[in-house]
Structure 1
Amino acid sequence: MAKPGQGFGFGLGKMKELTEAFKKAQQVQEGAKKLQEDLDLLEVEGEAGGGLVKVILSGNQEPRRAVISPDVLGEGADVVSQLVTEAMQDAYNKSTTTMREKMEELTGGLNLPGM
């Protein structure tokens, strides 16, 4: 049994920590919403073939456009397809890295499970 005045086993210090954790979590939630908006406006470019093929994604990894140089079109469909795939992978990797870095900035100082 708890001693008189101890409540449920955690004192005011723990309540203050819990309150601060909730405040931080709310700040992270608000920051995450803003981050989603910022990432949606961001454009991340991946390229292949020395820039002959470029793929542009949003920071949220939504496809925006592809740019294929006329110089590569004579190489045939297989080569163009391979370069487009490589450019998409490059853009995806850059976008993922950017998103991870932004989330780490947002959640810095918090010990959130799974982050």
Structure 2
Amino acid sequence: MNRNMMRQAQRMQAQLQKIQEELETMTVEGSAGGGVVKVVMTGKQVVESVTIEPEAAEDVELLQDLVVAAFNDATNKTQELAASKMSAITGGMNIPGLT
């Protein structure tokens, strides 16, 4: 590997580290049932909070479905966030293992 490629690799590694740190502090909100259940998750997919409106507790099976849907929504949003951050570095190339 020549010097220029080595510098580029080191620069990309530093940028990736910065993005990983940013994702830890960024949050997304997933919701279901028109906002009856909300999940706030960091960009690193750590759940910070779950909010459930009282009327959702009346039907436990529906509540369970709404919680799953809200978590899935939040997870999808974190993946989209990470992908958009990574595309700034990779120029839109899909590099396996980076997201």
TM-score clears 0.5:
yes
Cα separation, partners in 2 of 1:107 and 1:42, compared to 1, 3 Å: same
What TM-score do the two structures reach when normalised by structure 2? 0.87
Q: Deviations over 1:2-44 (max 9, x none)?
A: xxxxxxxxxxxxx7xx322211111111111111111000011
In structure 2, stretches of 5+ residues that fail to align are: none
Pairs aligned (count): 97
Identity, % of aligned positions: 35
**Structure 2: how far apart are the matches of 1:40 and 1:79?**
31
In structure 1, stretches of 5+ residues that fail to align are: 1-14
| Aligned Cα root-mean-square deviation (Å) | 2.0
1:80 aligns with 2:63: yes
Report runs of 4+ in structure 1 exceeding 2 Å deviation: 111-115
Report which of the two structures shows the higher radius of gyration computed on alpha carbons. Answer: 1
What TM-score do the two structures reach when normalised by structure 1? 0.76
Per the alignment, in what secondary structure is the counterpart of residue 46 of structure 1? strand
1:32 aligns with 2:16: yes
Aligned twin of 1:94: 77
Whichever residue aligns with residue 25 of structure 1, its letter is A
Shift of 1:73: 1.4
Per the alignment, in what secondary structure is the counterpart of residue 56 of structure 1? strand
